[in-house]
Chain A
Amino acid sequence: MAEVLVLVDHLDGEVKKVTHELLTAARAIGEPSAVVVGAPGDAAKLKESLASYGAAKVYVAESEDAAAYLVTPKVDVLAALVEAKSPAAVLVAAGAEGKEVSGRLAARIGGALLVDAVGVETSGDEVVVTKSVFGGAFVVKTKALKGLPVISVRPGGLEAEPAQGAAAEEAVEVPAVDSAKATRITGREPVVGGDRPELTEASVVVSGGRGVGSAESFEVVEKLADALGAAVGASRAAVDSGYYPPQFQVGQTGKTVSPQLYIALGISGAIQHRAGMQTSKTIIAVNKDPEAPIFEIADYGVVGDLFKVAPQLTEEALKRKG
C-alpha cells in the first residue's frame, strides 16, 4: 500500500488530537508514516500514541535546530522524505503553522496544495479532498491535477478512529538551517488556558455572546464548559465589549471550530459568528430573543434567560458525571 506522510503535531511531549485525525485520514488513502520533527527525545514520548492510531512507521527528525526555528525545519524534513520515499500524499494539520508548512512544501516540491480538508478519500488511484468554504456555506470536492497532493486537514473536521500500527522507527536527518532564510524562535509563551482544552481541538465548545453582559458574568459560561470538559469561546460582540479575551473569539475574524457539540449562550448568531461554528455536529442555543438567527441553525434551542438555563444545565451535567 502507498505510503502517506503525516506531520505529527505535538506539544510538550504529547501528541495533539488532530494528529490522530490525520492518521485516520491517511489510512483512507494508504499506509500512514508519522513524521516527528522536534527536539532530541520528543519522538520517544509520542511513539505509543502514534502506534495506537495506526502509524506503520515513525520518521524521527530530531535536532536542537529543528525546535529552534519556525516552520522551515518541518518543510526541509518533509521535502527530503518526499524525495526519498515518493509517498502518495502528505497530510498536515490545518492550524496556523500547518497551513504554512503545507504551503511552503507545495511551493518547494511543486505539489498540489489542498487546504482545510474535512474529508479525504480515494477515487480510483486519485486522492479526493472534501472541504467546506465560506464558513461552511459551500461544500467543495477537489483533487490534484499534477504534483503530489499536500493536504491540510481541519482539526475536528473528521473523527479519529484507533487502529494498531507497528510504529517502526527510522531516524532521518534534519537538513542544516540557512540562517539568512530562516526565522529563529527566541521565546515561547504558551496559552494559559488552565485545564481547558484548546478551542480548535475541543470536542465540546461553550460560547458566550453579548447576552452574557459583563466580564464577571462569563463565569456562568466557564462553569458550564468545565462541567462538560469543554473549551470556552466568545462571539465578536462579547470580545469587542471586553467580556472575554480575543484569542477565544469564534467566527469569521476569529477561530473556526467544528466540535461534536457547540453550546451558544446569549449569542444572536450573526452571519460572521455562524461562519466560525456552523459546521459543528450538534448546536444548542439559549437566547432571550425568540427571533435570534442562532435558532435557525440550532438543533435544540431554549428561549429563555441564560443565567437560569445554563446553571441548571451545569448542575445536570455534573450530576451525570457523578
Chain B
Amino acid sequence: MPNIVVLVKQVPDTYSERRLNDGDHTLDRDSADAVLDEINERAVEEALQIKEAHDGEVTVLCLGPDRATDAIRKALSMGADKAIHVLDDAVHGSDMLQTAKILAAAIGTVEDVDLVIAGNEASDGSGGAIPAMLAELLGYPQLTHAREVTIDGTAVKVTRETEEGLTHLEASLPAVVSVAEKINEPRYPSFKGIMAAKKKPVETLGIDDLGLDAGDVGLDSAWSTVLEAAPKPPREAGQRVEDDGEGGARIAEYLVAQKLI
C-alpha cells in the first residue's frame, strides 16, 4: 500500500509567449496562459497506475500562487485522493534550493511516505534538478528520468532514459522517482472525476506551517541573483532564395563562405 506524493507545477503554456518581469527578473506569470505542466500529468498518471496495482493513496503537492488551484484540481480530477497547496507570498522569487527545501518540508507533513513522484524537468525553469535535490534533502534514493517504474515489495526498479541511453536502476523505498516524457499517456479526467475533485480535500499551508522561516525563502534570501535580463534580439532573417535547381549547391557555397564546410 504505497503512500505516494506527486509534485505538480503550474507553468506558462509553452504555446504562449513567455516573459520575465522587468523589475525583479522573475517569471511574469500573468503574461501567459497557465497550465498544469504536461510532464506532471504523466507523474500523476504513474502514481495512479501504481495505486491501482498496489492500493495506497495519492497526495498531490503543489507550490504556487493562488491560481495554481487549477492545476491541483486537474490532478484531483484525474483521480488523486487529496492535495496540499503551499501558498505563501513570501515564496515569490525563490531559487531552486529554496524551492527544494520548501517541497521537502511539505513532504515531511505527509505521514509514512513511500514514494515521491515528480516530472523530470519543468518546461519553464528547465532546471532538471529538483527531484535529485529533494532526494538529497529527504535522504531518499533518487530514481530519475524514468520511462518505466516497477514496485516490488520494498524495492523500486526504474528504467532511466537520458541522452546517454538506458540505465537500469534499483533502490529501496522510500524513494524519489521522476518521470520522463515516454513513461505513459496520461488519462483525461472523466466528468465523474471532475465532479468528485470538487469535494476532495485541499490543505493550504504557509511557510510558517512547514516550520520554515519566511526570511529564508523568496527573492531577498536567494543564493543567487539575476544581474540583468534582456530579451534576446530576435534573430534576423538572413538570405532566402527560391530553389532554381541549384538550391543545394547554393547552400554549399554559403557554408564554404562561412567556413562551415
Residues of A within 8 A of B (CB): 11, 70-72, 75, 95-97, 99-104, 106-108, 110-116, 128, 132-134, 136-147, 149, 179-192, 198-200, 204, 228, 246-247, 252-256, 260-261, 271-272, 275, 278, 282-284, 286, 290, 295-305, 308-317, 320
Answer whether residue B34 sits at the interface, using C-beta atoms and an 8 A cutoff: no
Instruction: Find the B residue at minimum CB distance from A102.
Output: B129
Contact B232 A107 (CB under 8 A): no
Q: Which of A104, A143, A149, A320 contacts B132 (CB 8 A)?
A: A104
Choice from B25, B38, B246 contacting A253 with Cβ under 8 Å: B38
13 additional A-B pairs beyond A252-B14, A296-B235, A301-B241, beta carbons within 8 Å, are A96-B144, A96-B162, A99-B132, A115-B128, A183-B143, A187-B167, A204-B260, A261-B260, A271-B14, A284-B251, A284-B254, A298-B237, A298-B238
B256 interfacial by beta-carbon distance below 8 Å: yes
> How does the 8 Å CB contact mask read for B92-112 relative to A, with 1 for contact and 0 for none?
000111001000000000000
Beta-carbon contact of A316 and B249 below 8 Å = yes
Cα A80 to Cα B191 with chains together (Å) = 54
- Number of B residues near A (Cβ < 8 Å) is 82
C-alpha gap A302/B161 in the complex (Å): 36
CA distance A224 to B223 in the complex (A): 46
B45 to chain A, nearest CB (A): 16
Whether the pair A71, B142 counts as a contact (CB closer than 8 A) is: yes
**Closest CB of chain B to A312's CB: distance in Å?**
3
Count of CB-CB pairs between chains A and B under 8 Å: 274
Contact present for A132 and B135 (CB under 8 Å): no
Instruction: Output the nearest chain B residue to A198 by Cβ-Cβ distance.
Output: B163
Contact A100 B241 (CB under 8 A): no
- Are the CB atoms of B224 and A309 closer together than 8 Å? no
**How far does the Cβ of A151 sit from chain B's closest Cβ, in whole Å?**
10
Instruction: Name the A residues within 8 Å of B131 (CB-CB).
Output: 100
Find out whether the CB atom of B164 lies under 8 angstroms from the CB atom of A191: yes
Question: What are the 8 closest A-B residue pairs judged by CB atoms, nearest first?
Answer: A304-B243, A312-B248, A103-B129, A316-B252, A100-B132, A96-B162, A313-B248, A299-B238
Q: Do residues A286 and B14 form an inter-chain contact, with CB atoms below 8 A?
A: no
**Chain A residues near B171 (CB, 8 Å)?**
182-184
Contact across chains for B168 and A70 when beta carbons are under 8 A apart: no
Q: Are B129 and A186 in contact (CB under 8 A)?
A: no
Decide: A308 near B232, CB < 8 A? Known: A187-B168, A296-B237: no
Beta-carbon contact of B241 and A96 below 8 Å: no
CB distance from B43 to the nearest CB of A (A): 14
The verdict on A103 contacting B141 (CB below 8 Å), with A70-B169, A138-B20, A302-B250 known, is no
- Considering only residues 222-254 of chain B, those with a C-beta below 8 Å from chain A are 222-232, 234-235, 237-243, 245-252, 254
Q: Is the CB of A96 within 8 A of B145?
A: yes
CB-CB nearest in chain A for B16? A271
Residues of A within 8 A of B130 (CB): 103
CB atoms of B226 and A104 under 8 A apart: no
| Residues of chain B with a CB closer than 8 A to A296's CB | 234-235, 237
Given A103-B133, A261-B260, answer yes or no on A146-B223 (Cβ-Cβ < 8 Å). yes
For B131-171 the 0/1 string (1 means CB < 8 A from A) is 11101110111111100000000000100111111111111
- Give the CA-CA distance A138 to B124 in the complex, in Å: 12
- The CA of A309 and the CA of B242, in the complex, are separated in Å by 11
